[in-house]
Structure 1
Amino acid sequence: MNYYIEPLKRTFDFTGKSTVKQFWMFFLIENIIVFILGILSVKLGIDNLGDIYLILTLLPFIALGFRRLNDAGYNRWLFLVPLVNIILACIHKKETSLE
């Protein structure tokens, strides 16, 4: 559960570093919560409950993505480019060579 709580605590930290595991565990937990909220919204008759949750967690997710790309050694602004952000978030740190 720390993989979910820690990014929420670091919502406004766009310069630190985050691991691959932390990024994907947050992504997984967030999607599970959205799925559960989607079922609950149908059962309770409350529209867009999952959408509201996604809007509330958008900034922590972007901050986590920025930190992930920073840790991998890429320009963190690439996280805002669709599809590229998911591919780069999977990559481990760049290897630096002295060649």
Structure 2
Amino acid sequence: MKILNYYVESWRRFGDFRGRSSRPAYWWPFLLHPLVFLVLGGIFAAILDLDTDQIGPEIVYFIAYVWLSIALGVRRLHDMGRKGTWLLLGLVPFGNLVLLYWLVQPSSVETNEWGDPGTQGGITTVSSDTEPEPPLQTNDIIR
């Protein structure tokens, strides 16, 4: 299931501010984190019998999620050829609208200073100057 792979990959690259993250590698974890946060909060509240005014272990997840979201946002901006410092645009009024517009844009198909598009969970490109390999024949396997 690709969606879970994107989610796991986001945690694997938790503190990685280098490289690129494609649109699905950014948006699937972004959409799944609130759901996971609610589920973990419910589980911890049930197991540990927490009151609503107590800070439970889910706060640790939330802090980690904020850090991970910053790393994902920086890598997503890198994927479009922009510096990660543009993420600070979210701190000014209406800056989030500009960021949202950028984050939903397709990946840059060109190699940029943060790597190739296909190397960091991005799209795969095929160069026209290389000849594709012929398909494998079944009689090649039998011999």
TM-score of the superposed pair, with normalisation by structure 2: 0.56
Q: Which amino acid aligns with 1:3?
A: Y
Q: Could you tell me which runs of 5 or more consecutive residues in structure 1 were left unpaired when the two chains were aligned.
A: none
Percent identity over paired residues? 28
Shift of 1:68: 0.4
List aligned pairs for 1:7-18, cutoff 5 A: 7-18=10-21
Shift of 1:11: 2.0
Q: How far does the alpha carbon of each residue in 1:3-42 deviate from its partner, in whole angstroms, 9 at most, with x for none?
A: 1111111123212011111111001110111222344465
What's 1:86 paired with? 100
Q: Distance in 1 between matches of 2:59 and 2:88?
A: 19
Q: Which amino acid aligns with 1:69?
A: L
Which structure's CA Rg is the greater one? 2
Check if 1:6 corresponds to 2:20: no
Q: Which amino acid aligns with 1:93?
A: S
Moved more, 47-56 or 21-30: 47-56
> RMSD in angstroms over aligned alpha carbons?
2.4
Equivalent residues, number: 96
Q: Distance in 2 between matches of 1:29 and 1:62?
A: 15
Say if 1:70 and 1:76, in contact at 8 Å, map to a contact too. Answer: yes
Q: Distance in 2 between matches of 1:10 and 1:95?
A: 22
Shift of 1:94: 5.3
Say if 2:77 and 2:84, in contact at 8 Å, map to a contact too. Answer: yes
Q: Distance in 2 between matches of 1:11 and 1:42?
A: 26
Q: Which amino acid aligns with 1:74?
A: R
Q: Distance in 1 between matches of 2:107 and 2:26?
A: 14
Higher relative contact order (CA 8 A, sep 6+): 1
